[in-house]
Amino acid sequence: MLLEQLTALLARTDITLTEQQKQQLVDYVGLLDKWNKAYNLTSVRDPQEMMIKHIMDSLVVAPHLSGKNYIDVGTGPGLPGIVLAIALPDTQFVLLDSLGKRVRFLTQVKHALGLENVTPVQSRVEEYQPSVKLDGVLSRAFASLQDMVQWCGHLVDDESRFLALKGQFPQQELDSLPAGVTLERDISLQVPELDGERHLIILKKD
């Protein structure tokens, strides 16, 4: 049922996935549903709702990632990092979270789905030092843009970007950005079956 739902949702986007990728996403929802009962990873309880609010909501970002190394800060149960890692197998994703139970879940997902391009890390973002140059810092429902820039500034140079998934266009947050960081692009995202606005906010250091 979930596979049919995912296939129908994908048909309403420009995103193309292999049968294996689709199965991995379905299996990920299964793991999320199973572990959620004990670990309380997400407030969304229904797997079909997860498919829209978590999977599709993360997948629509995939066409806008062009680099090869990203970090998903405050990844929680792997959103959007796990979803993007499945959709973009040639791109590396560090999944960072400060809570051990979430990182244990992510480690389980990595092994269960055979994801070679995922590195779960338990750390506070301010203390994390990447081993490779990052193309971008991703966040979804993690923090305000000001906090993201402040906490993740050491991860980004002139060539890499901050990428924040937001609901409504965050004008107030953009108005409060510190000097030296500007809005490069605002991409309006269309998520099938999801009500409300979705934006991918791309910030750069001047």
What digits encode the pLDDT tens for the residues 41-59? 999 999 999 999 999 999 9
Measuring CA to CA, which residue among 58, 127, 64, 134 is closest to residue 97?
Answer: 127
Annotated binding site: 74, 79, 125-126, 140
Distance (Å, rounded) from C-alpha 55 to C-alpha 73? 17
Distance (Å, rounded) from C-alpha 88 to C-alpha 92? 8
Amino acid letter, 156: V
Three-state SS at 143? coil
Q: In which residue ranges of the chain is pLDDT below 70?
A: none
What would the DSSP string read from start to end of 58-117? HHTTGGG---SEEEEET-TTTTTHHHHHHH-TTSEEEEEES-HHHHHHHHHHHHHHT-TT
Annotated binding site for S-adenosyl-L-methionine: 74, 79, 125-126, 140
Q: DSSP assignment, residue 124?
A: -
Confidence at residue 194, expressed as pLDDT on a 0 to 100 scale: 95
CATH topology for 1-205?
Answer: Rossmann fold (3.40.50)
Measuring CA to CA, which residue among 89, 62, 57, 91 is closest to residue 76?
Answer: 57
Confidence at residue 141, expressed as pLDDT on a 0 to 100 scale: 82
Confidence at residue 135, expressed as pLDDT on a 0 to 100 scale: 98
Confidence at residue 112, expressed as pLDDT on a 0 to 100 scale: 98
